[in-house]
C-alpha cells in the first residue's frame, strides 16, 4: 500500500508517530497535512532523540491550528474525544 493512497478509517481520534526524525518535514508537513485533511483531532509526534512530544490539534483544512510542545517528564493533555493525559515520565531519550 502506498502512503499517498492511504486514508484513515472513520472514527479515528488520534494518530501518532514515534521514532527517529530523519525526515522531520515528512512527519510534520506531509503526514500532518493528511491527518488534518482527514479531520483526525490529534496528531502526536514523540521524538526520543530530543526528548520532546509535539501534539497537533484543531484540524482545519490542510493544517492543524494548535501545537503543544512538551519535554519528556511533562504531562501532555489530550482533550475530547480522547480525554486523557499522556504520562511522558515513562519515555526516555536515546
Q: Kindly tell me if the per-residue pLDDT of 17 is higher than 90.
A: no
**What contacts 51, CB < 8 A, 6 or more positions away?**
71, 72, 91, 92, 93
Identify the structural domains of the chain with CATH numbers, from first to last.
12-90 (3.90.1570.10)
* pLDDT of the residue at 94: 86
Contact residues for 71 (Cβ-Cβ < 8 A; gap 6+): 51, 52, 53, 88
Average pLDDT on 37-49 reads 91
Q: Where are the alpha helices (DSSP H) in the chain?
A: 24-25, 32-37
Q: Whole-prediction pTM value?
A: 0.78
CA dihedral 24, 26, 32, 33 (to 10 degrees): 140
Amino acid at each position: 500500500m502506498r502512503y499517498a493512497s492511504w486514508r484513515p478509517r472513520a472514527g479515528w481520534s488520534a494518530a501518532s508517530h514515534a521514532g527517529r526524525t530523519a525526515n522531520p518535514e515528512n512527519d510534520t508537513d506531509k503526514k500532518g497535512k493528511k491527518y488534518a485533511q482527514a479531520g483526525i483531532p490529534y496528531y502526536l509526534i514523540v521524538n526520543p532523540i530530543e526528548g520532546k512530544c509535539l501534539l497537533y490539534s484543531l484540524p482545519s483544512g490542510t493544517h492543524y491550528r494548535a501545537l503543544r510542545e512538551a519535554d519528556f517528564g511533562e504531562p501532555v493533555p489530550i482533550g475530547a474525544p480522547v480525554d486523557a493525559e499522556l504520562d511522558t515520565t515513562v519515555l526516555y531519550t536515546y
